[in-house]
Structure 1
Amino acid sequence: MTRRRLLQTAAAAAALPASCGKKHLPPPPYATLADLRALLSSGQTTPLLIAEHCLARIAQIDKSGPRVNAILELNPAARTLATSCPPGPLHGLPVLIKDNIETADDMLTTAGSLALRMHRPAKDAPLAQRLRAAGAVILGKTNLSEWANIRSPHSTSGWSARGGLTRNPHRLTHSASGSSSGSAAAVAAGLAPAAIGTETNGSIVSPASACGIVGFKPTVGLISGAGIIPITHWQDTAGPMTLTVQDAALLMQTLADNFTADLQSDALKGARLGVIRSHCGKNSQVLALFDAALEKLHAAGAVIVDPVNLPTMREAGSLAWKAMLIELRQDLNAYLAQRGGDVRSLAELIAFNEKHRDTEMPHFGQEFFEQAEKLGMPDIIAEGAAARAEARRLAGPDGIDAALREHRLDALICPTNDPVGKIDLAHGDTHERVASTPAAVAGYPHLTVPLGFVDHLPIGFSFMGTAKTDAHILSLGHAFEQLTQARRAPEFRAA
């Protein structure tokens, strides 16, 4: 072979993808986004094989076998998208999306309600657009607590008229919590490496902690709320639900403008963390897990301030709830009017549910909807606005911010949840403790990371901070995750 021919051959070989000549393999179960990126980069797998792997697990685990029932609808174009996804930070990576986030494709967006099943959104929500532009494969829609759990005080988390009941992958008899039930259960069960959930108060962090995964509720406004079926714009936000904090940070870098997170394994060294004892609950096994984690944090160089008080939080939560029902009517009416379809207002939605009571309300009613519909008078709306302003002040500047400032803290910490209760469609949720209200009402970041297990049910560990300290909160959580390594695959226990 001539020298010129040899150089031409070498140049041609260098131009080939890394996968040339290698046998492509499906990814291992519970591979993270970071794992899959590395496998794709090294040419050991392909986006199509990853998508096929997820679809096979959904068929085996979600639709048969344990029947977790986390997936409401699969994207019929998933395989095609996997073969044509654009280059980007999420190239070829499958992501599931909660069914209250609009996509303009062959999937519906219904919030789990039959009332929206006949009308498709005209365009993607901005966050869906961002995922597609980054190269992600939107694999399907996840089930949820219908209307993000704002319909009735007697609801069962994880149930929707359209999707039925989602179960906890660790114990199938127990709640997956909500309202992002399907997103949490799907990631925990290894049906996909990541999902997008939404939260108004606890709807990301509660199911994430209950199902033993990472859930991140960012500062409200960092991720566009357009194209998300609303409860209240003051507290609603989408956020990542993943197997690791690193994966949550990767998604945030796509979902939010100009977001970077420099995750350091030694971020806890010198960090000052305040224990919100009033939000830790009284479950002795949970407290034992938490106190053991505090010892590990101290050994890693963190400074633990215990306790730290949030005396304004009870009043803030009460005022926020008063405002929320008023805002629900306003925000949902505006959304339904512009979307079009069979129902164009909360009043029409209430009438639809009554007309279809046998399918929409076989287990619980719509008391919250009915209360909200009565709150449309101008004086009541003004009263709600005042309550909202006061709630935000008490939870934010006079609550979390005051505590952080007084003790020179980096974050507030507590166990996220107590073990979830058994599913009981006849009586609804059992309402175990979840620490979510402070960050939810203030609109501040809240991260939950796996802490351990009680009675085979996962418990989470919470980090909360002030507005726009999201990257720092993620860094603290990442270091905690490396320290504890508490996540484990579900056993799909039948009892």
Structure 2
Amino acid sequence: MTLSDQDFLGFDAGQFRDLLARGTLTITALISRTLQQIERHDKHGLNLNAIVSLAPESLLRERARLLDGELRAGRSRGPLHGIPVVLKDCIATGPELGMTTSAGSFALLEGKITKNAPLVDRLLASGAVIVGKSNLSELCSFKGEGLIDGYSPVGGQTISPYMSTCIELDEGDLSPSSPGGSSTGSAVSVSAGFSLIGIGTENCGSIVQPSSRQALYSLKLGRGIACAEGCWRASKTLDTIGAMARSARDLAAASEILLDLDAGSRLLEEGGYASFLTGSVEGLRIGFVDPTLWRLPLDFWNPTEEAKNQHVGIQVTFRRLFCVRLYGSKITYPLTIPQPSELNVGDDDAPFVVNLFESAETAKEFFEDYVDAELFIRSLKDMVDFNKCRLERCLPESAPDQSWLIKAIDEKPSPERYVATRNHMLRVGRDGLAKVFRDNDLDLVIAPMDSSACVLSTASGYPIANVPLGRYHLKGQLSRPFGLAVLAPSEQEGSIFRFMSAYEASFPARPVPERLVNGAVTL
């Protein structure tokens, strides 16, 4: 069959699944076209640099043939059967999949992981085809000062297919051309046609921020319902997992697979998250914050007046259109929610203190399934020493600092300081947001994604999602997508999916990257 670039980049997994079910398309052909797209634009063409490790083609073709055979026999494993998926390269994959697990660090690249992370086994059981591992901000952004989003020594710099210039950080770390991080490569892979589903991890914004900049639907699942075991992470308390997709239904399917088995049986009714995709917000109670007050801190992005005006104008227009197109919901505006500064104890940045205290122990757990016959790396200290001995490769000009790793070893917070800071942050985050939802009788809180909303999700453990909203038209040809942050109470991801499906049905389709649209291809 012939498919235009516009459709290849715009179709969601559900649309490809319909083609597979009708026999119009085979999984083998879909995987072949996906590999062609990676070959054209990952290290060539637009040089997006989203993939760190590609699965061996022979293994991918063998799996595609197996899954095609199952479909011909009338057996489908579910909505991800035959669907290409990319994993963030901090998620462990065993030797049978033929890919590395480096977290973007040369200190980890030479070793071998002995087994898959549990989420990988669940994806494989669902029929997904894991085509590769994606680039990320090195060590999930917890290495040192000045690390650029989407950069790692192993993978280089990932860039956005939506942007027509190189990364310029003259307005701050999250200037318009930044792709966001740390799950950068997974987000870019979905928007660029390297996969249909991206899996990432998040401590604070690492899934929702890059997906906002790639016009994707994404969800960081709430604390305690999804297991990040087998993932490199800074904190067991704060880090969790989530998915990115081109549609609400794809995201629902992927998110359901990521749930712990006990959480899935407890939270999901028959039909799973898909049962919440009603296309209606009837009865939902939604609070909107004031977009003039909720922006990124100036040290992350100090926008021009033009950008400020676009930011506020688009948010205001959306809220008005929402009330017209998605009637039946109760709207509260403007909504006051806790400021991130309230989470801190004195001058301590609370999430940073938690990461400093927990990172050495989480690294130790990661190394339990890590085999390194020559370098004997078993701790953060081993990694720091490895980097010091290989400055050019491990501490290059683009990422010369590993001060956070050193602090986690030499200046680890005392247990008393850690407990006090952690408990204060969790209490203020959880109780503060719970009070907002309770006092205002709300199901959801909506804020600009270009704000500190993700910090509140980190502190409270509440789920946070991104919905693609619009694009900034700045600096001539720059046209960076941005989204809405959607927060819900603990274990209320279903309300987020209700909102997403109604939004998707009532507003324009997410834009595809124009620079990748050239013509038509035969599948």
TM-score exceeds 0.5: yes
Range with greater deviation from structure 2 (194-203 or 310-319)? 310-319
Answer yes or no: is the 8 Å Cα contact 2:115–2:369 preserved in 1: no
Matched to 1:97, the amino acid is L
How far the C-alpha of 1:51 sits from its partner, in A, is 0.3
Answer yes or no: is the 8 Å Cα contact 1:78–1:139 preserved in 2: yes
Matched to 2:402, the amino acid is Q
Specify the alignment match of 2:469 in structure 1: 451
Answer yes or no: is the 8 Å Cα contact 1:286–1:459 preserved in 2: no
Specify the alignment match of 2:227 in structure 1: 224
Return the alpha-carbon distance in structure 1 between the equivalents of residues 386 and 457 of structure 2. Answer: 34
Return the alpha-carbon distance in structure 2 between the equivalents of residues 227 and 394 of structure 1. Answer: 29
Q: Percent of aligned positions with the same letter in both sequences? A: 29
Whether 1:78 aligns to 2:60 is yes
How far the C-alpha of 1:349 sits from its partner, in A, is 0.7
Whether 1:349 aligns to 2:364 is no
Return the alpha-carbon distance in structure 2 between the equivalents of residues 349 and 326 of structure 1. Answer: 17
> What pairs up with 1:90-169 in 2 under 5 angstroms?
90-104=80-94, 105-169=97-161
Matched to 2:417, the amino acid is E
How far the C-alpha of 1:231 sits from its partner, in A, is 0.9
> What pairs up with 1:217-256 in 2 under 5 angstroms?
217-256=220-259
Matched to 1:136, the amino acid is A
Whether 1:279 aligns to 2:315 is no
Return the alpha-carbon distance in structure 2 between the equivalents of residues 246 and 473 of structure 1. Answer: 12
Whether 1:359 aligns to 2:359 is no
Return the alpha-carbon distance in structure 2 between the equivalents of residues 484 and 290 of structure 1. Answer: 14
Answer yes or no: is the 8 Å Cα contact 1:452–1:486 preserved in 2: no
Range with greater deviation from structure 2 (70-79 or 139-148)? 70-79
Answer yes or no: is the 8 Å Cα contact 2:114–2:369 preserved in 1: no
Higher RCO (Cα < 8 Å, 6 or more apart): 2
Answer yes or no: is the 8 Å Cα contact 1:26–1:53 preserved in 2: no
Deviations 1:150-180 (A, max 9, x none): 1122111111111111001100422211001
Specify the alignment match of 1:394 in structure 2: 428
Specify the alignment match of 1:7 in structure 2: none
Residues 26 and 44 of structure 1: CA distance in aligned 2, closer, same or farther (over 3 Å): farther
Residues 64 and 312 of structure 1: CA distance in aligned 2, closer, same or farther (over 3 Å): closer
Return the alpha-carbon distance in structure 1 between the equivalents of residues 486 and 208 of structure 2. Answer: 11
Return the alpha-carbon distance in structure 2 between the equivalents of residues 411 and 389 of structure 1. Answer: 25
How far the C-alpha of 1:253 sits from its partner, in A, is 2.0
Whether 1:29 aligns to 2:8 is yes
Specify the alignment match of 2:73 in structure 1: none
Give the unaligned 5+ runs of structure 2: 71-75, 167-176, 297-302, 474-478, 517-523
How far the C-alpha of 1:264 sits from its partner, in A, is 3.6
Range with greater deviation from structure 2 (466-475 or 281-290)? 281-290
Return the alpha-carbon distance in structure 1 between the equivalents of residues 234 and 295 of structure 2. Answer: 27
Specify the alignment match of 1:429 in structure 2: none
Return the alpha-carbon distance in structure 2 between the equivalents of residues 434 and 52 of structure 1. Answer: 40
Candidates 486, 494, 498, aligned match of 1:471: 494
Range with greater deviation from structure 2 (208-217 or 382-391)? 382-391
Answer yes or no: is the 8 Å Cα contact 2:279–2:505 preserved in 1: no
Return the alpha-carbon distance in structure 1 between the equivalents of residues 37 and 371 of structure 2. Answer: 36
Answer yes or no: is the 8 Å Cα contact 2:340–2:452 preserved in 1: no
How far the C-alpha of 1:335 sits from its partner, in A, is 2.1
Whether 1:67 aligns to 2:47 is yes
How far the C-alpha of 1:344 sits from its partner, in A, is 0.6
Return the alpha-carbon distance in structure 1 between the equivalents of residues 81 and 339 of structure 2. Answer: 45
Specify the alignment match of 1:17 in structure 2: none
Specify the alignment match of 1:329 in structure 2: 360
Q: How many residue pairs end up in the alignment?
A: 453
How far the C-alpha of 1:288 sits from its partner, in A, is 1.0
Matched to 1:101, the amino acid is I
Answer yes or no: is the 8 Å Cα contact 2:427–2:460 preserved in 1: yes
Answer yes or no: is the 8 Å Cα contact 1:94–1:138 preserved in 2: yes
Matched to 1:279, the amino acid is W
Return the alpha-carbon distance in structure 2 between the equivalents of residues 486 and 287 of structure 1. Answer: 21
Candidates 163, 168, 171, aligned match of 1:171: 163
Q: What secondary structure, in the 3-state scheme, does the structure 1 residue paired with 2:8 have?
A: coil
How far the C-alpha of 1:101 sits from its partner, in A, is 0.3
Matched to 2:442, the amino acid is L
Matched to 2:294, the amino acid is H
How far the C-alpha of 1:63 sits from its partner, in A, is 2.2
How far the C-alpha of 1:265 sits from its partner, in A, is 4.4
Answer yes or no: is the 8 Å Cα contact 2:356–2:404 preserved in 1: yes
Q: What secondary structure, in the 3-state scheme, does the structure 1 residue paired with 2:485 have?
A: strand
Answer yes or no: is the 8 Å Cα contact 1:208–1:448 preserved in 2: yes
Matched to 1:128, the amino acid is V
Whether 1:372 aligns to 2:351 is no
Residues 186 and 42 of structure 1: CA distance in aligned 2, closer, same or farther (over 3 Å): same
Range with greater deviation from structure 2 (145-154 or 24-33)? 24-33
Residues 274 and 401 of structure 1: CA distance in aligned 2, closer, same or farther (over 3 Å): same
How far the C-alpha of 1:25 sits from its partner, in A, is 8.0
TM-score of the aligned structures, taking structure 2 as reference length = 0.83
Deviations 1:37-72 (A, max 9, x none): 111111111111110010011111222111111111
Candidates 313, 316, 320, aligned match of 1:288: 313
> What pairs up with 1:400-415 in 2 under 5 angstroms?
400-415=433-448
Specify the alignment match of 1:314 in structure 2: 341
Residues 375 and 385 of structure 1: CA distance in aligned 2, closer, same or farther (over 3 Å): farther
Range with greater deviation from structure 2 (82-91 or 210-219)? 82-91
Q: What secondary structure, in the 3-state scheme, does the structure 1 residue paired with 2:53 have?
A: strand
How far the C-alpha of 1:381 sits from its partner, in A, is 2.3
Give the unaligned 5+ runs of structure 1: 1-22, 418-432
Answer yes or no: is the 8 Å Cα contact 2:287–2:335 preserved in 1: yes
Q: What secondary structure, in the 3-state scheme, does the structure 1 residue paired with 2:102 have?
A: coil
Residues 311 and 251 of structure 1: CA distance in aligned 2, closer, same or farther (over 3 Å): closer
How far the C-alpha of 1:215 sits from its partner, in A, is 1.6
Return the alpha-carbon distance in structure 1 between the equivalents of residues 144 and 91 of structure 2. Answer: 21
Return the alpha-carbon distance in structure 1 between the equivalents of residues 193 and 31 of structure 2. Answer: 12
Answer yes or no: is the 8 Å Cα contact 1:187–1:194 preserved in 2: yes
How far the C-alpha of 1:269 sits from its partner, in A, is 2.7
Specify the alignment match of 2:519 in structure 1: none
How far the C-alpha of 1:312 sits from its partner, in A, is 5.4
Return the alpha-carbon distance in structure 2 between the equivalents of residues 71 and 207 of structure 1. Answer: 15
How far the C-alpha of 1:395 sits from its partner, in A, is 0.5
TM-score of the aligned structures, taking structure 1 as reference length = 0.87
User: Who wins on radius of gyration, i.e. which is larger?
Assistant: 1
Specify the alignment match of 2:283 in structure 1: 270
Return the alpha-carbon distance in structure 2 between the equivalents of residues 48 and 306 of structure 1. Answer: 50
How far the C-alpha of 1:138 sits from its partner, in A, is 0.6
* Cα RMSD, aligned residues only: 2.0
Matched to 1:348, the amino acid is D
Q: What secondary structure, in the 3-state scheme, does the structure 2 residue paired with 1:485 have?
A: coil
Specify the alignment match of 2:457 in structure 1: 439
How far the C-alpha of 1:345 sits from its partner, in A, is 0.6
Q: What secondary structure, in the 3-state scheme, does the structure 2 residue paired with 1:147 have?
A: helix
